[in-house]
Amino acid sequence: MLPCVGELIAVEGLDGAGKNTLVTGLVDRWRGAGAVVTTLTFPRYGASVTADLAAEALHGEHGDLRESVYGMALLFALDRAGAAADIEKARHTADVVILDRYVASNAAYNAARLGQDADGEMTRWVADLEFGRFGMPVPDRQVLLGVPVELARARAAARAEADAARTRDFYERDDDLQTRVDAVYRQLAARGWASPWIEFDGHDIAALAADLLPE
């Protein structure tokens, strides 16, 4: 049965995990079944000044900005805050709103940068900032696309090699960081951080679609 207010689902995972492919697969199946689906991707590069500033910092611009973990986290949080009204509007016009990255990405990446786990100060700070002060809607469910770190790393590298305009940023080039991010993501999922999680291995999208949005 479809919800009266659109189900809000966030898809999370490492760079190169295949989030875009997963989101596309879910959308195709749900729309094929007659559901109204809206998608948003974060960060909103090209549409948000704060997202673009963050991207530029991750490619070496703006002095030492990228060295500030909290500064970078705030830029990505402000990008999402700028889309809060769009998310709420979509929830009242669609059966499901699916987000390619959301608040948990801020928690995972920046906790990992600080060497913290999912119970550390950073994940609490992110939740207080985004869900609290900025009033971002809490997702109904979150999906962790938990492919092996080595596979995600290889995909990200291959994507950059195939597209000269898509150079890997500071986070993507840091293999140790990606490994730590993966560990924090899995902890967040195990703890049900903010809302219930589903860990998905990337193999059966049809089954995941049915699980997330039963007919």
Portion of the chain with pLDDT greater than 70, in percent: 96
Q: Give the closest residue to 195 by CA, choosing from 141, 126, 145, 135.
A: 141
In this predicted model, what pLDDT tens digit does every residue of 73-96 receive, in sequence order?
999 999 999 999 999 999 999 999
Output the pLDDT for position 164.
64
- Domain residues of the chain, as ranges? 7-43+87-212
Q: Do residues 19 and 39 touch, judged by C-beta distance below 8 A?
A: no
DSSP at 146: -
Tell me the CATH number for domain 7-43+87-212. Answer: 3.40.50.300
